[in-house]
Amino acid sequence: MITNLSRRRFLLYGSATVGTSILLKACGTAPSPQPSPSAASPAATGAIKVAGVYTVPIEQQWVSRIHKALDAAKGRGDIEYVYSENVTNTDYERVLRQYAEAGNQLIVGEAFAVEKACRAVAKDYPKVAFLMGSSGKPDGKNFSVFDNYIHEPSYLTGMIAGGMTKSKIIGMVGGYPIPEVNRLMHAFMEGAREITPDVKFLVTFIGSWFDPPKAKEAAFAQIGAGADVMYAERFGVSDAAKEKKVLAIGNVIDTQKDYPDTVVASALWHMEPTIDRAIQAVKDGSFKAEDYGIYSYMKHKGSSLSPLGTFESKVPAELQQKVKKRQEEILAGTFTVKVNDMEPKSTA
């Protein structure tokens, strides 16, 4: 059944195969491999060349914050910005090297699943500055790390959640229990306990970063079990809360405009302080391996509690007062929110 390939057919298939592979290769080339003249002299003219390498689409909450900060810097004319999104972890190192080869001076990305490879690349390109999302430590001379240390506003949103729950059950749906998720959940839980000590938590992980229908189902299940405030770590949770008319707390981004009667408050992450500091360091040649984590702290304006907006009048004044007081204490450094990276568990 496979034998009777005529010569003509063979030629047809053969040329089709070759043609396709050439086409694929053409499509696969990097966005801008040819270094522009300005890149030859770093620290010279205004704009430095920055590349972003992300493992998820730029809509993902986490990456959207980085992308936004870099876009803003581009808008100011501080940087030339190129990026690749949805890069698989197995391909990550190649893309990283490609951008390093292309003459980018600063590369921003996420090393979580490819720590070793990223550090190796950084070692191979000592003149390029690397600023990577990572749970690890800075490395060598040019490998800096950052992370979403927004546990402080998470604590504050937890206080709000603790005050707003009537059933004393709070639902939490997460993707995977990695430190970046865990520490925010724990801070949130601590905050809720401060206001309502006997509050119970339902915790579900859905084993995916991008499955809103499943996150929604998990949220439905928690609401069915009595949760009346949802911690919306994933897309989909606020939707379930909206449909079932319970409340939700946002994370990383402010989604209140999409759910005006559902999302009470959000713990926001601002990447601008981190990014701007790194850009400045590259510009004046002072970039070194550093932990940029603290620039996500409230003190450095790297995170904040969102305005209550539509819930301004619905959150009791007494509770607002308590939250405000805590916020001031955090900013003054008299109150520290614990960083706990352990996997959170249900307590109900």
User: Would you tell me which residues interact with another protein (CB under 8 A)?
Assistant: 1, 57-59, 61, 64, 67-68, 71, 86, 171, 177, 202-214, 216-218, 220-222, 224-225, 235-236, 239, 253, 255, 258, 345-348
> In the complex with another protein, which residue's Cβ is closer, 89 or 280?
89
Residue that the structure tokens 């998470």 belong to: 154
> In the complex with another protein, which residue's Cβ is closer, 85 or 291?
85
Q: In the bound complex, what is the minimum distance in angstroms from residue 32's beta carbon to another protein?
A: 16
CA distance 318 to 41: 58
**If we measure between CA atoms, which residue out of 51, 48, 317 comes closest to residue 163?**
317
- Residues 268, 306 contacting (CB under 8 angstroms): yes
Chain centre distance of CA 24: 31
- Helical spans, DSSP H, in the chain: 7-28, 61-75, 89-101, 115-124, 151-164, 179-195, 212-224, 237-243, 272-283, 317-332
CB-based contacts of 70, cutoff 8 Å, min separation 6: 50, 52, 79, 81, 83, 108, 271, 275
> In the complex with another protein, which residue's Cβ is closer, 117 or 348?
348
Q: In the bound complex, what is the minimum distance in angstroms from residue 319's beta carbon to another protein?
A: 26
Q: In the bound complex, what is the minimum distance in angstroms from residue 210's beta carbon to another protein?
A: 4
Q: In the bound complex, what is the minimum distance in angstroms from residue 239's beta carbon to another protein?
A: 7
Q: In the bound complex, what is the minimum distance in angstroms from residue 346's beta carbon to another protein?
A: 5
> In the complex with another protein, which residue's Cβ is closer, 33 or 213?
213
> In the complex with another protein, which residue's Cβ is closer, 167 or 320?
167
CA angle 40, 43, 44 (to 5 degrees): 70
Residue that the structure tokens 């690349």 belong to: 121
Q: In the bound complex, what is the minimum distance in angstroms from residue 146's beta carbon to another protein?
A: 19
Q: In the bound complex, what is the minimum distance in angstroms from residue 226's beta carbon to another protein?
A: 10
**If we measure between CA atoms, which residue out of 106, 64, 112, 58 comes closest to residue 89?**
112
> In the complex with another protein, which residue's Cβ is closer, 101 or 261?
261
Run of H or E residues at 125: none
DSSP summary character for residue 293: G
> In the complex with another protein, which residue's Cβ is closer, 32 or 38?
32
